[in-house]
Amino acid sequence: MSASVELAGVVSLVGVGSAVAALAYLHVAPTGLSPVRNAVSQYGISSRRGCYRLMTISMAIAGGALAIALHGALQGSGVAVVLVLLGVFSLARLAISWFPMDAPDADRTTTGAVHGLLAVATFVSVAIAAIRLCRVLEGDAAWTTLADASRGLGWAMVVCVGILVLSRIGPDLRRAFGAIERALYVAIIAWLVVIGVACATGQL
């Protein structure tokens, strides 16, 4: 285990911690948004848009640092795919706050459409990365528990993404869009933490 892998793991965890702190603040700040109904992206068109941007940039840093750590820690087939997917995740998170969503009662815009595409890229790329990483980790018996955690969190992300898609056509689910999306955020953050800790502590 090289010191650079451990350092990159620590940087990833710092990024996650910053993102969690920003999210926590957004949820207690007087924005008037409901964590059950409203999308997380609506913080980006609120008076707390700067904190939302801090959150997205922090997640981008976490994903990028984790890619660097995994590049140094792992070898073999499948690793490159995980790294590319983490790169997509990081770039999408980095860019998304500069392309804010359209307000729910506003006309659709190109900027809003780009925001939607970046959100899809974020959620799909990290879910697939988690599932693909478990296949890489399964090659070593010492990483069985870590592989299981990556698989479970990856499929939890997939389920949340699927429910979010269904919420677009189901009024009952639409009223819970915010809660479903936040469950997805929890799964993403948990995965970043689990793999980040593994890298930072020399388990990979």
Give per-residue pLDDT as tens, 103-159: 988 889 999 999 999 999 999 999 999 999 999 998 787 899 999 999 999 999 999
Give per-residue pLDDT as tens, 56-92: 999 999 999 999 999 999 988 789 999 999 999 999 9
Give per-residue pLDDT as tens, 10-40: 999 999 999 999 999 999 999 999 999 999 9
d(CA 124, CA 112): 18
Q: Which pLDDT does position 1 carry in this prediction?
A: 56
* The total number of structural domains that make up the chain: 1
| Full residue range of the structural domain in which residue 36 is found | 3-200
Burial 150-174 (b: 16+ CB within 10 A, else e): bbbbbebbbebbebbeebeeeeebe
Given a contact cutoff of 8 angstroms between Cβ atoms, the answer to whether 45 and 101 are in contact is yes
Give per-residue pLDDT as tens, 89-104: 999 999 999 999 999 8
Give per-residue pLDDT as tens, 170-194: 788 888 999 999 999 999 999 999 9
Q: Which pLDDT does position 130 carry in this prediction?
A: 98
- How many residues does the structure list for the chain? 204
Q: Which pLDDT does position 2 carry in this prediction?
A: 82
Q: Which pLDDT does position 87 carry in this prediction?
A: 97
Given a contact cutoff of 8 angstroms between Cβ atoms, the answer to whether 47 and 31 are in contact is yes
Q: Which pLDDT does position 160 carry in this prediction?
A: 97
